[in-house]
Amino acid sequence: MAKLSGKTVLVTGGSRGLGRAMVERLARDGATVVLTYRSDADAAASVVAAVEAAGGRAHAIQADQGTLADVEALFAKVDATLGGGACLDGLIANAGIMQHATIEEVDEAAWDRMFDVNVKGVFFTVQAALPRLRDGGRVILLGTGLTRFFMPQYVAYTAAKGALVSLTGVLAKQLGARGITVNMLAPGAIDTDMNPWLKTPEGIAAMRGMTALDRVGHAEDIADVAAFLASDDSRWVTGQRIEASGGQHL
């Protein structure tokens, strides 16, 4: 039997990149996956079609997460799709934004948007998911290698993701009594559309020089770790920041 057979997992930001890879991997493991997308309905429909063509089950929901109202609207759609009640076995809070800017270049509007989406949105998404999450469930927050090795040009993004490192531990301590594990999955630089420089020969060579495993990371490398954290195999792992970076900047 597939490891996630009979489970239902919500993946925010599941229409492209890391999110899409996670949706497809979880579905292959037997989960019914609900994915959110912000604006690209065609991309989301493509993910659902790919999952269904492989024999899996997926549903796409349009949603943002910059405000509490956005989160409430998201979960109204989740309830309508799944029937309400304790309908989830896992949440992967993957949706987020990135900004390439040093401290001198970040203005108040950009800072607020970064924290609205990457911190406030994640916080209230988890809060709203909790009454819908069955005991023994899984919560996975997406972090970044940039909270271990530091790059000034990602200062606001790093600060926002750093807040989630602490949130991971707090939630793990609170939710452990329900058998719910909470972990952070922290990728390094991955070949997705968020990192177009990794599609150039120069970028590939530079990335190989940064990683112990001497190659560029791919979305599937992260999706496989997410599948482990979403499964019963990770039942004794909680409150952890698990970096999947190929040994970047060791």
Whole-number pLDDT of residue 71: 97
Whole-number pLDDT of residue 181: 98
Is 121 contained in some domain?
yes
Burial code (b: 16+ CB inside 10 Å, e: under 16) for 21-59 equals: bbbbbbbbbbbbbbbbbbeeeebbeebbeebeeeebebb
Q: What's the Cα-to-Cα distance from 238 to each of 124, 136, 169, 174, rounded to whole Å?
A: 20, 12, 8, 11
Is 99 contained in some domain?
yes
37 is catalytic: no
Taking the chain (250 residues) in consecutive chunks of 10 residues, what is each chunk's mean pLDDT? Answer: 93 97 98 97 98 98 96 98 96 96 98 98 98 98 97 98 98 98 97 90 95 97 98 98 97
Is 1 contained in some domain?
no
Q: What's the Cα-to-Cα distance from 14 to each of 24, 65, 171, 213, 239, rounded to whole Å?
A: 9, 13, 23, 27, 24
Is 20 contained in some domain?
yes
Is 226 contained in some domain?
yes
Is 2 contained in some domain?
no
Is 91 contained in some domain?
yes
Candidates 38, 71, 157, 167; catalytic one: 157
Q: Say how many domains are in the chain.
A: 1
Is 3 contained in some domain?
no
Q: Give me the CATH number covering residue 86.
A: 3.40.50.720
Whole-number pLDDT of residue 1: 63
Q: Show the domain range for 219.
A: 8-244
